[in-house]
Structure 1
Amino acid sequence: MNSILEKEKKLNLALTKLKSLNLENPDIKKNIEILGEQKNQLEIEKSEIEKKYKTLVDEHDNLTRKLEELENKEKIEEKKRIEFSEKIDELNQETNTLMDEIDKWQT
């Protein structure tokens, strides 16, 4: 029981001290205003950084898509080169065969 009375006295003392605080202190008001201005400035900077980040993400996505398109085009071109080379080889073989046939006819 004694403990409860002591706690109540401490609580009442703390409440009295809180009530006696002068919240109208000009230094506190000025500090609160400065903190408010700093908060606003940080929010503006945050917003600008978020916009720049979104722009960079969009740019990255765009570049990634373009790179994939270029890689696909390169694969297609390589496939065409291989097919062209194979056709040339076929034509060379046919030409050699025809030349052999011509040689046979001439002899």
Structure 2
Amino acid sequence: MNSLTEKEKKLNTVLNKLKNLSFKNPELDNNIEELKNKKNQLEIEKKEIEDKYKILKEDYELLSKKIEEIKNNQKLEERKQIEFSEKIDELNQETDTLLEEIDKWQT
């Protein structure tokens, strides 16, 4: 019977140790906390990058519009230049015609 009592005591001791046993792993907790911190940092960086991208996109759109305006202005200037050249050609022709007429009258 003594043996049975000793076994019961030992079993109770082991059960108490098992009850007090902690299943928490501090290293795992530290790793989880570190991962949470990294995740937060990455989210902050992501937000910053998205903000910068948005600004760059707006700048790109603005510059694209300006370039388009410049191209349109160049086309307009080219047309004006062509019209001006045509007018000069017309005036030259008229001048030549007038000179011919003057020559006819003088002879």
Give TM-score scaled by structure 1 length: 0.78
* Map of 1:93 onto structure 2: 93
* Map of 2:38 onto structure 1: 38
Cα deviation digits, residues 44-84 of structure 1 (max 9, x gap): 00001101111111111111101100000000000000000
1:62 is the counterpart of 2:59: no
Shift of 1:89: 0.2
Cα deviation digits, residues 6-62 of structure 1 (max 9, x gap): xxxxxxxxxxxxxx982x221111111101100000000000110111111111111
Gaps of 5+ in 1: 1-19
* Map of 1:72 onto structure 2: 72
Quote the RMSD (CA, aligned, Å). 1.4
Distance in 2 (CA, whole Å) between partners of 1:97 and 1:28 is: 101
Distance in 2 (CA, whole Å) between partners of 1:30 and 1:67 is: 54
Amino acid at match of 1:49: I
Distance in 1 (CA, whole Å) between partners of 2:82 and 2:54 is: 42
Q: Give the secondary structure class of the aligned counterpart of 1:30.
A: helix
**Identical counterparts, % of pairs:** 61
- Tell me the matched-pair count: 87
Look at both structures and tell me which one has the larger radius of gyration over its CA atoms: 2
Amino acid at match of 1:91: L
Gaps of 5+ in 2: 1-20
Distance in 2 (CA, whole Å) between partners of 1:59 and 1:26 is: 49
Distance in 2 (CA, whole Å) between partners of 1:21 and 1:40 is: 29
Distance in 2 (CA, whole Å) between partners of 1:31 and 1:56 is: 37
Distance in 1 (CA, whole Å) between partners of 2:88 and 2:34 is: 79
